[in-house]
Structure 1
Amino acid sequence: MAKSRRASSSRRKKAGAGRWLLRLVALVALFGMVFAGWFWWDMRDWKPDEAAYPEQGAVIASGASGTRFETLKALGGDFVYLELAPVGGAPDPGFAARLKSAQASGLKVGVIYPFDPCRRADPQSARFTRMVPRSGELLPPAVALRNVADGCDASVSDAAVESELLTLVNQIEMHAGKPAVLKLSPTFQSRYNAARTFSRDLWLARDRARPDYAGRPWLLWSANSQLVSAASPDPIEWVVVQR
C-alpha cells in the first residue's frame, strides 16, 4: 500500500513538472512572437542615427515603380542606388526613365549589377555597359554578390566563379571609370571569401545590427531591408555610409 502511494505521488510530481515545462515552453514561444512582432513594427521606419551616419540613402530594386525620388530626398536621403536587371532576369524597360528621374531629383545616383555566378562575365558586363551611360556624375558602380554557384545547371567551380567575377568587375570599372563597390552577402562571403580576395570597398547588410562578417571595415551598410516610407508604395532598402 505504501509503495502504491509513493508511486502515485511520483506520478503526480512528474505530471506537475511536465505541465510546468509545457507552460514554460508556451511562455517562451509567446515572448518570441511578441518580440518578433515588435521588431517587425519597429523596423518599419527605423533608420540609423544621422549624427553617427550623416550620409544615408536607399536602394531601388529592379522593376520597382512609383518611387518618388523627391520625397526620398526630403526624408533625408542623400543618394540612391538603382538595381539593374541581370542577364536572364525579367526585363526592366523602365530603368532608363527611373535613372533620369532619380538624377533630376538632386540625389546622387549609382547603379548596382547583380552578379550571376552561373554565367560568364562578358554578357553580364555587356548588359551594364548597354544600360548605364558613361558619366562622371554617377556614384561608383556596385556589384551585388548574393548567390553561390550550387544552383547552376552545369557545375561551376569556385575558381571559375572568382575568375568571372574579377573579369566582370574589371569590365564594369573600365566603363564607369571608377572602382566598384562589392555588395557582399554573408552567404557569398562564407563560400568565396571575396572580402579577402578583392581589394574593393565593401557594402554589407544586416538589419539593425552593424555587420561584421567580412572581417574588415566596410563603406556601406544596408541597415534596414524593409523601410516603409512615403517615398515608395513598396518597402525599400535603407543604406548608410561609414566614413
Structure 2
Amino acid sequence: MPRIRLARPRLWLVFAAVVLAIVGTIWWKQAHWTPDVADYPLQGAWLSDGDVKVVPALPELGARFVYVTASLGAKGQNADFSATVEAARQAGLQAGAVHIYDPCRRADEQSANFVTLVARDADLLPPAVYLDKSGEDCPRRVRPAEVESELVVFLNQIESHAGMRAILAPSERFEEEYHFGSRAERELWLTRNWIAPGYAGRPWALWTANTDLRTGVVGGSVAWVVARP
C-alpha cells in the first residue's frame, strides 16, 4: 500500500496566521482594554467635539469623570463643550475643561479664547493644558525660552480665572524637547497606551492609558484616563 504523505502548510501561511493573530490581539486590546479598577478606582475619559453622543455610555464603562476639550490655541473652540459638560453632569460625572496649547500664539490670545468659553465654575475639575506642538514648527521659530515664558503667563491667567491650579498634559515628545513637566510645580497628566508612563521624571496625577477605547456607541471611541489612587 502506498504511503500517504501529508502536505505541510506553506511557511508563509503560518507566518500570515501568526501576524493576523498578533494584529487581532493588539486591535482588541486597543479597543477594549482599561486598567484594573482594583488598581485605579477613579477612571474617566477625555472627550472632544462631537463626543456628546457617547456620554450616556461612559458610566457603564466605569467612568466617574470626564475632561472635555474646550479651546484650541487662540481661536479654535469646541461648539459642543457646554452641551457635553451638561450631559456629563446629567450622567453623574464630574467634568473639566482642556485647552490645546499652541506655542505659535501669544498667551493672552489663548487665555482669552479659553475664558470666553469656560465659565468660572467651582464645580468644574481643575483645567488641563495639553502640550504637544513645538515652537520649532511655527511660521516664525519660537525659542524654548519664549515657549516657556508665554506658557507660564497663560497658566497664570487661566488659573486666576478658574480659581485653581491647572494640570499640565505634556506629550512625550513635548517633554523630551522642553522638560517643562519635570520642572513645573503643577500636577501632571501623561499619556502612554497600556503601560504607566514615567517620561516626565516625577509622578503623574492623571494617565491616558488607552487613546482609542470603544464605547459601544456606533463610531464612538474616547481616550480613557485614570487618576493615581
| TM-score range relative to shorter protein | 0.7 to 0.9
Count of residue pairs the alignment pairs up: 220
- The alignment partner of 2:208 has SS state of strand
Structure having the higher strand fraction is: 2
Q: Which residue in the other structure is 2:64 paired with?
A: 78
Counterpart selection for 2:24 from 37, 52, 55: 37
Q: Which residue in the other structure is 1:125 paired with?
A: 111
Write the letter of the residue equivalent to 1:129.
V
Pairwise CA RMSD of aligned residues? 2.2
- The alignment partner of 2:188 has SS state of strand
Alpha-carbon distance in structure 2 between the residues aligned to 1:148 and 1:24? 46
Q: Which residue in the other structure is 2:122 paired with?
A: 136
Structure 1 position 230, deviation (Å)? 2.4
Q: So what's the TM-score if we normalise by structure 1? A: 0.83
Structure 1 position 33, deviation (Å)? 5.4
Alpha-carbon distance in structure 2 between the residues aligned to 1:49 and 1:232? 25
- Give yes or no for the alignment of 1:58 onto 2:45: yes
Q: Which residue in the other structure is 1:218 paired with?
A: 204
Write the letter of the residue equivalent to 2:68.
L
Alpha-carbon distance in structure 2 between the residues aligned to 1:232 and 1:132? 29
Counterpart selection for 1:112 from 98, 107, 114: 98
Q: Percent identity?
A: 40
- Residue by residue over 1:168-191, the C-alpha shift from the partner in whole angstroms, topping out at 9 and shown as x without a partner, is 111111111111110110010000
Alpha-carbon distance in structure 2 between the residues aligned to 1:122 and 1:26? 59
Structure 1 position 125, deviation (Å)? 0.5
Q: Which residue in the other structure is 1:173 paired with?
A: 159
Q: So what's the TM-score if we normalise by structure 2? A: 0.88
Q: 2:168·2:187 contact (CA, 8 Å) conserved in 1?
A: yes
- Residue by residue over 1:8-30, the C-alpha shift from the partner in whole angstroms, topping out at 9 and shown as x without a partner, is xxxxxxxxxxxxxxx99998787
- The alignment partner of 1:58 has SS state of strand
- Mind listing any 5+ residue stretches in structure 2 that lack a counterpart? 1-9
Write the letter of the residue equivalent to 1:38.
T
Larger radius of gyration: 1
Alpha-carbon distance in structure 2 between the residues aligned to 1:232 and 1:180? 33
Structure 1 position 75, deviation (Å)? 2.1
Structure 1 range deviating more: 161-170 or 230-239 = 230-239
Q: Structure 1 residues 91 and 134 mapped into 2: Cα distance closer, same or farther (>3 Å)?
A: closer
Q: 1:66·1:233 contact (CA, 8 Å) conserved in 2?
A: no
Alpha-carbon distance in structure 2 between the residues aligned to 1:98 and 1:76? 18
Q: 1:115·1:145 contact (CA, 8 Å) conserved in 2?
A: yes
Structure 1 position 145, deviation (Å)? 0.6
Alpha-carbon distance in structure 1 between the residues aligned to 2:133 and 2:11? 39
- The alignment partner of 2:32 has SS state of coil
Q: Which residue in the other structure is 1:20 paired with?
A: none
Q: Which residue in the other structure is 1:97 paired with?
A: 83
Q: Which residue in the other structure is 1:6 paired with?
A: none
- The alignment partner of 1:126 has SS state of helix
Alpha-carbon distance in structure 2 between the residues aligned to 1:69 and 1:160? 38
Structure 1 position 95, deviation (Å)? 1.9
